[in-house]
Each structure stands twice: as structure tokens, then as C-alpha cells.
Amino acid sequence: MFSFKSEMSDNAMISVYPYGDEVYAFGESPFIHKIDLETLKTMDRVDISDNVSIVHHTSHPHVMADSSVYNVGMTMYSTGPYHSVVYFPKSETSMFKEAKIVASIPARWRLHPSYMHTFGITENYYIIVEQPLSISLPSLVALKLQNEPPAGAFRWYGDEYTQINLISRESGKLYKTFQAQTFFYLHIINQYEDSKHIVIDICAYRDPSLLDCMYIETMKGLQTNPDYAKMFRGRPIRFVLPLNPQSQEIAGDSNLVTLQDTKASAKYLPNGEIYVKPEKLCDLGCETPRIHYERYMGKPYRYFYAINADVDATNPGTIIKVDTVLKSMQIWQEQKCFPGEPIFVPSPDSKFEDDGIVLSVLVWGNQDTNHVGLLILDAHTFTEIGRAEFRTPSPVPKCLHGWFFPDKSNM
């Protein structure tokens, strides 16, 4: 018998997050691994589906101010797949045993649920962005029978809109949907409520071609592929979603967005759905975005930090600080040096949004692949204030995602 869980890897190599006082490494299967912060050894393996009926979850849960955690997973019912929000309450015993599904919406395509790598959350809403990159469930079964890798089950429906779903946190029910231009995404930068609108910032691409760039054979031919750089071309964009728009009869073809200082728009389609058009936040490719998470996640914010995703840039190894108000940016770069995800760490008595430091793991190219470093930037001035460099016995790959864990004994 086919089992989704039996086909999933427990290789948790994407991200690291705290669940209460414990730390776990994530992939996108229901399996996560507890990590010893002192020794970095792998400890217990937790199967989240033992307590909630999910077959997949994102590798980017949201950690709330009270230490509770939310994530989005896929659940399977007789009527088809659903995208479900899972709540892990802060607990003195086990956050996993007390986990529960607090909201669910059916996937818009019954046999082709959208691929989910992250989601959004604000004070009153969960935000699930259904992109046209889907996982074909029939193909997944066929690939198993053919002993082929599950990556072949991805399907891209480039003629379909991207659908943004708002779910009420109070009722757990779908509140409103919006249609947007076709795009692929991995990461949401931030999202918040402002004057009866939802603002959501996303690192978006025209299509999922960049996933093809991650295959070894494609990387071997990158120097001779004239389209390689285009496959990575993406930009950070902002959508503004009106929560209580005028009726179509009154609004007609007018812009439904009444928020000031934005070029993003929303208009009714002939069928009564609302089509939202984004504005660009900067003209550089941005990936692995981070913010002052502890204070500004789900709230109005100004700055985010990212690495440059434009592989054909003069110096692709660049860290970017984007001002979402002025639509300006600052950069840090060093020749032949490739920084990882820039993690913002607030000052202990942080007084303003960018009062803190930015940490980034450095690796070097060419023949210097055993060279590793940790960069420390002043987040406010975006200038280097220190670094540590060392060499390793073997080459070190560029990291994906991390988390800063303070030494609580000194706090």
C-alpha cells in the first residue's frame, strides 16, 4: 500500500527553530530532529504526524512572543488535500502532544495541492499563498511504482493565477481570497495589518526555473547556459490586500487600495474576484530574507536583510539591507566571498528597529573552499564591526537557514 510518510526523507537540512526550550532541525516531511545546542549532536526524532494528521509541513514555522509555534501542513481527507494551520501551544510537558489543527482550507486543485515552503501570520489572519507550482498526487504514486524520485511530481501551471488566502484566526474559516499574477516563491519577508489592509512582502520569481538550477548537471553547465542567470531572476514585491473593499457595483474599475504611499493596487475582475498587483521593493534579487523578527514579525516594519540572488551580478556575494519605506538599499560585499542568510540579532536593550547586528556565515570560492568565516555587521550603519575566520579539514557548503540562540546564562 502507498504511504506518503514512507516516501518522505527525514533529512532535516533546511532550517532550525526553537520549540519552547528545545531546538529542532527541519525539512519538509513531518520528521524533525532535536539538536543539543552544546554539542550539536542529533538527539530525538519527532514525528509530528503522530499527534496531528499532516503528511507535509513547511520548513518555516512562526515562533510567537509567548513561545507558542504555528506552522502550515498538508492534511488528507476523503474529499482531498487541505492546507491546515497547526498550533503548538507553549507547554510544560510536550508542545507536540498538545498540538492541534486550528484552521483548514481545501487545496484549490484536488489532485494537485500547491507546494508550500512558508506562510504568513498577522494579529487576526493566517495567510496561505497557493502558487501554481503543485505536487501531483497521481504522479507521486506513479513515481513510487517506477522507483523514481518524488521531485518528478512537481507541476507548474503557468497560466493560472497565484491565489492568496486570508483565514480568520478567530473562526479558523476562510475570510477572503485574492488573485495575483503568476509567480513562484519560497520565502515571505513579512506581513502585517495596516488601516484595513493586509500588506505582504514576498521574494518572487516568474516561474520555478531556479529549482532546475539546483541539479548537479545543470550547475555543471552554468557557464555555457545563456539562460542560467534568467532562471534565478527574482525580485522582492509587495502586495496590499484590502480587507473590506467597496462592492463591485460601487467600485467599478477603481483601485480598491486606499493605503497611502504604495503603488500596489487591487481591482475587481469581471467574475467578481479581486486581482492584486504588487509594487517592487528594490531592483536586486533577494533571498533568505530576515527581519527584526522578535519585535516586528506580523507587524508594520521598515527593514529586511537578504542575500543577492542575481547570479550574474558583478559581485553575486552581496548582503542587502532594504528600506521598504524609501525603497532604497545598502550592501556589503567582498570579492570571491559568498555570505549566507543574514540573521538580525537585536541589541539587548534595542531602542529602534535596526538597533542590533547582522550575522552571516561566509564561504569563499575558487580554490579557497576550506575557508569559512562569521561576519558581524552593525545593522544600523551596515558596516563591518568584526569577523572570525578559520579553515576546515574539508570544503564547507553554503548554509541555508539558521537561528540565533543567546547564552541565557549571561542574560
Give me 113's grid cell.
495541492
Alpha carbon of 273 to those of 231, 248, 339: distances in Å?
31, 9, 42
Helix (H/G/I), strand (E/B), else coil: 314: coil
Cα 374 to Cα 176: distance, rounded to the nearest angstrom: 44
Neighbours of 250 (CB within 10 A): 8
Three-state SS across 134-162? EECHHHHHHHHHCCCCHHHHEEECCCCCE
Instruction: List, as one string, the DSSP characters of 269-289.
Output: -TTSPEEEE-EES-SS-EEEE
401 belongs to an annotated ligand binding site: yes
> Residues 272, 278, 279, 280: what is their CA dihedral angle, to the nearest 10 degrees?
-170
Write the CB contacts of 77 (distance below 8 Å, at least 6 apart in sequence).
none
For residue 254, the Cα-to-chain-centroid distance in whole angstroms is 32
End-to-end CA distance of the chain: 53
Question: What is the separation of C-alpha 404 from the centre of its chain, rounded to a whole number of angstroms?
Answer: 17
Residue in the structure block whose three cell numbers are 542568510? 341
Residue 61 cell numbers, joined: 514555522
The angle formed by the CA atoms of residues 123, 124 and 128, to the nearest 5 degrees, is 100
Buried b (16+ CB within 10 A) or exposed e, 263-300: ebbbbbeeeeebebbbeebbebbbbbbbbbbeebbbee
The C-alpha cell 540573521 sits at 343
Upper half-sphere CA count for residue 405 (Cβ side, 13 Å): 16
Measured between alpha carbons, how far is residue 231 from residues 153, 205, 237, 283 in Å? Answer: 20, 9, 18, 16
117 appears as a binding residue in the annotation: yes
Query: Which residues fall in the annotated binding site for Fe cation?
Result: 60, 117, 187, 401
Query: Which residues fall in the annotated binding site?
Result: 60, 117, 187, 401
